[in-house]
Amino acid sequence: MSQVIQREEKEHAPNNWAVTAVLGLTFLTAITVVPWYGFTHGYSAWDWTFFGIFLVLNGIGIGSGYHRLWSHRTYDAHPALKWLLAVMGGMSLQNSIIVWSARHRIHHRDVDDNDKDPYSIGRGFWFAHIGWMLRNYKSGEVDYSVVRDLQKDPVAAWQHRWYWTLVWTTNAAVPVFLGWLTGDIIGMFLLAGVARLVVNHHVTFFINSLAHMWGKQPYSDENTARDQHFLALITYGEGYHNYHHQFQTDYRCGIRWWHLDINKWFISTCALLGLVRNRKRAPQFKVLRARLHMEFKAARKKLEQAGDSAGWKEQFEREYAQFIATIKQWQQLQMERVQQGKQKLAERFEIETALLATHYRELEFSLKMQRKRLALLLAQVM
């Protein structure tokens, strides 16, 4: 039935010829003219240098700027940094901050809903990766009501107003000027202009497609988002998508120090330089709770498959009951924290804050220990 509905919508959804032409022509040029020119004329070190610089800056402009700063407001940025991110993000030719963020917020709100999610993976890899842009689908219409805060942002509003001027300047005029300076206008335009643009496009598009198909779901299986280390490497950290969908207000996607999250490192470096403040993090307890919930879910399936010859299910249920009890204690602490915020006496507030902080640490430690006991239990069963 859903396939019939999708076919009917496709028949009625008009082609978006402008987007189709841009994506199609740049891709064809990248796979034909760019390699031909390389074999026949060669690319200079300057061509490759600016290809790499622009590629990384565009990835940061989209990931640290469009995505984590404007779409999710995970940190506050100095105006100078906002201008840089707006320019480099605009150079990526993925629409303005306001339009990009509007669709992305709808994606999070209605993820996997084929009728509302602009790039729902439920409609297939091709649709989620690029197909949703080639036709004017109803699900892709821009709802400006979800980005009223960005319309008041002077940098985002300026970029939206002058978007196409910015696109032509950064993608055509800048590469041509750099080519003139370095003595190879065509080579610079093809490599640092066209090839860089195509690579950046599809790296970003992989988040909409592969990151909802390939990888693990350590924090939630309520949607299709997944974590994948290799995908994180080529997408500047955006590949830790299961975590991001569960904790979208966290400025990090890769939360471990060794996670390949270039955007996290960029934002943290800017914080050291005084260009970023108020970085948001998901509470450690909530992260542990989500992970342990998924581990209990997986453990229950394994125990059901293994049978009950050694009475492991009783031990499992005791561990799960303790998990639920720990969560209830944490929720009670949250209520006490709200009550505490209403206290008028500063001295009492400080004492109770210290006690609550101690309780939070104890509960976090309890969850960590329970993860270890659960792993040992499963090792014995299997």
pLDDT tens digits for 328-369?
Answer: 776 776 676 666 665 543 444 444 455 555 655 665 666 667
Report the range of poorest mean pLDDT among 39-43, 124-128, 282-286: 282-286
Q: Which residue has the higher pLDDT, 176 or 303?
A: 176
Q: What is the pLDDT of residue 344?
A: 45
Please give the single-letter amino acid code of residue 239. Answer: G
Given a cut of 80, whether residue 220 has pLDDT beyond it is: yes
Selection from 322, 356, 316, 321 nearest residue 336 by Cα: 356
Pair of tokens at residue 128: 């989620």
Given a cut of 70, whether residue 260 has pLDDT beyond it is: yes
Helices H / strands E in the chain, number of each: 20, 2
Q: What is the pLDDT of residue 364?
A: 62
Q: What is the pLDDT of residue 259?
A: 94
In a 3-state reduction of DSSP, which class is residue 309? coil
Q: Please, are residues 72 and 95 in contact by the beta-carbon 8 Å criterion?
A: no
Confidence at 326, pLDDT banded by 50, 70, 90: confident
Pair of tokens at residue 195: 């090839």
Q: Please, are residues 219 and 225 in contact by the beta-carbon 8 Å criterion?
A: no
Helix (H), strand (E), coil (C) string for 187-222: HHHHHHHHHHHHHHHHHHHHHHCHHHCCCECCCCCC
Q: What is the pLDDT of residue 307?
A: 63
Sign of CA dihedral 156, 159, 163, 166: negative
Sign of CA dihedral 52, 58, 59, 65: positive
pLDDT over 70 percentage in the chain: 80
Q: Please, are residues 46 and 175 in contact by the beta-carbon 8 Å criterion?
A: no
Report the range of poorest mean pLDDT among 126-140, 273-287, 299-313: 299-313
345 phi, psi to nearest 5 deg: -85, 115
Q: What is the pLDDT of residue 296?
A: 77
The two most distant CA atoms of the chain are separated, in Å, by 78
Q: What is the pLDDT of residue 335?
A: 74
DSSP code of 279? -
Given a cut of 90, whether residue 250 has pLDDT beyond it is: yes
Please give the single-letter amino acid code of residue 209. Answer: S
Please give the single-letter amino acid code of residue 100. Answer: W
In this prediction, residues 112-137 reach a mean pLDDT of: 97
End-to-end Cα separation, the chain, in angstroms: 42
128/187 Cα distance (integer angstroms): 32
- In the numeric block, the tokens 């590469």 are attached to 175
b/e burial code for range 255-277 (CB count within 10 A of at least 16 → b): beeebbbbbbbbbbebbeeebbe
The mean predicted confidence, pLDDT, of the chain is 88
Report the range of poorest mean pLDDT among 131-140, 210-219, 316-325: 316-325
In a 3-state reduction of DSSP, which class is residue 130? helix
Confidence at 37, pLDDT banded by 50, 70, 90: very high
Q: Please, are residues 300 and 292 in contact by the beta-carbon 8 Å criterion?
A: no
Q: How does pLDDT run across 49-97, given as a tens digit for each residue?
A: 999 999 999 999 999 999 999 999 999 999 999 999 999 999 999 999 9
In this prediction, residues 167-188 reach a mean pLDDT of: 97
The dihedral over CA atoms of 238, 243, 244, 245, expressed in degrees to the nearest 10, equals 130
Q: Please, are residues 89 and 58 in contact by the beta-carbon 8 Å criterion?
A: yes
Given a cut of 50, whether residue 238 has pLDDT beyond it is: yes
228/218 Cα distance (integer angstroms): 11
Q: What is the pLDDT of residue 302?
A: 73
Confidence at 123, pLDDT banded by 50, 70, 90: very high
* C-alpha distance from residue 379 to each of 112, 306, 313, 357, 372 (Å): 35, 12, 14, 34, 11
